[in-house]
Amino acid sequence: MIAEGNELRIEAENEKYFYPAKAVGVVLDIIDRTAPDSIGPVHILIKENGVLLVEMTTTMADIHELYSGKFNARAFLYLSGINTDISLRGEPPGRHRKLFRYGIRPSIETFLNDPSGFFKYRLGLSGWLSYYPWKGATLNTMLEGYPLNNISTSNEPLSIPVRSDIVLYKKEKVSLGRLLFDQIYNSGRGLYGKVSAGLLEIQYAGIDAEAAMPLYDGRILIGISGSAVKKRDPDRPFQLKEDPVKDLFTTAFFNARLNIPEENIAIEIKAGRFLAGDPGVRFTLSKFINGVIIKAWYSITDTSDFTDPVNDGYNDKGLSVSVPVRMFTGAESKTAYHYSLTPWTRDTGQDIEHFGTLFDFIGRHTKIFIDKDRKMLYR
């Protein structure tokens, strides 16, 4: 908190609330109850992992009008300013910031319709630990254990096996799913950057980079991304594998997302070079229902480099659902369970598994979504 004359500036770390508007509302409530009436302009800045994401500018008088019932949320937002091009001036030192976070959750994965058996599965737990050494930085590791695991296949990896050999990794009962360093940066001009390096996921290690920017109050997000990775050895978690087909796998994408909060829909396009080297585009349609996100995607890529009949001419497709934990516990939480239905034994239109994306990091931290969720400002 910084007080300059009669001006109040508060930075709040949102570690808990699924909706950014709810986090803003909690701060507004505290200000209404505790701040003196002599305060004039009020600036509320919401952060995640120390990175500033959105600023609301209002006045003490308008906050009192909101909480006295003279203003509704729409009128309050009309008089307030919402800004994502946040100045980095005068940041106060962080207080009460957690340096470590950890979690554990049940995990189930299914492998359907393999020639060796229609229904294969692995059931167990995945646990993660994160250390946050400075603003925007994360050191993360994830360990997975599946005591119930009958994953196997009679299929051989295909001509460019970027995913068709995944059973070699999924059949392990204990695995190091991730060990990486991640850094996110906000330039203060609406442009975000992100770099991850290390053991990025169960199959690949290397470096992953991304840049993104919201436009038109968050109606549109645009960005670029790319990665350079090598295969991990499925039997030795800290070693890399000499791949007989390709030693270094690279991707490069232009990304765009159109948010339609009026219908709780988002349309995303990823165009460029996919993991096997196949150029093309992936279309993703997302539907948001009270925190549950349902996605469907379809990819069109040039498969001429594949010499096997399975990948040649195939268009990758799939469905996924993300369910927030708070729906089951009743307590505020940003954690969610994810389940996807997509072929494991295809290599076209593939990308690495990212440690989050900037589009999701920006998420609802924009004017268009703060307005959509405005009822959460005051309850």
pLDDT at 95 > cutoff 70: no
- Strand duo 7-13 + 41-48: pairing: parallel
For residue 371, the model assigns a pLDDT of 93
Cβ-Cβ contacts under 8 Å for 329 (sequence gap 6 or more): none
Degrees to nearest 5, angle at CA 158 with 156 and 161: 110
Q: How many CA atoms lie within 13 A of 332 on its CB side?
A: 10
Least confident of 109-113, 227-231, 297-301, 347-351: 109-113
pLDDT at 308 > cutoff 90: yes
For residue 232, the model assigns a pLDDT of 96
pLDDT at 75 > cutoff 70: yes
- State how far the Cα of 198 lies from the Cα of 204, in Å rounded to an integer: 9
Enumerate the H helices of 137-207 as residue ranges.
Answer: 167-170
- State how far the Cα of 32 lies from the Cα of 29, in Å rounded to an integer: 5
Confidence of residue 111 (pLDDT cuts 50, 70, 90): confident
- State how far the Cα of 186 lies from the Cα of 192, in Å rounded to an integer: 5
Averaged confidence pLDDT in the chain: 91
pLDDT at 290 > cutoff 80: yes
Largest CA distance in the chain: 74
Confidence of residue 341 (pLDDT cuts 50, 70, 90): confident
Tens of pLDDT, residue by residue over 207-260, are: 999 999 999 999 999 999 999 999 999 999 999 998 888 889 999 999 999 999
- Maximum mean pLDDT: which of 82-86, 109-113, 353-357: 353-357
User: What percentage of the chain carries pLDDT values higher than 70?
Assistant: 96
Cα torsion at 108, 112, 118, 123 (round to 10°)?
-10
Confidence of residue 112 (pLDDT cuts 50, 70, 90): confident
- State how far the Cα of 268 lies from the Cα of 298, in Å rounded to an integer: 11
E-strand ranges in the chain read: 2-4, 7-13, 41-48, 51-59, 81-83, 100-114, 117-131, 137-149, 174-186, 192-199, 204-215, 220-231, 249-260, 265-273, 279-289, 292-301, 317-324, 336-341
How far from the centroid of its chain's Cα atoms is residue 315's Cα?
25
Domain coordinates of the chain in residue numbers?
Answer: 2-95+367-377
Mean pLDDT calculated for residue range 348-375: 95
- The answer to whether 280 and 352 are in contact (CB under 8 A) is no
- State how far the Cα of 154 lies from the Cα of 179, in Å rounded to an integer: 30
Neighbour count for residue 78 (Cβ, 10 Å): 11
Confidence of residue 13 (pLDDT cuts 50, 70, 90): very high
pLDDT at 143 > cutoff 60: yes
How far from the centroid of its chain's Cα atoms is residue 1's Cα?
28
Enumerate the H helices of the chain as residue ranges.
Answer: 20-34, 60-68, 73-79, 167-170, 326-329, 358-362, 367-372
Confidence of residue 168 (pLDDT cuts 50, 70, 90): very high
For residue 276, the model assigns a pLDDT of 96
Q: Is the pTM here over 0.85, yes or no?
A: yes
- State how far the Cα of 54 lies from the Cα of 378, in Å rounded to an integer: 18
119: its two tokens: 């229904």
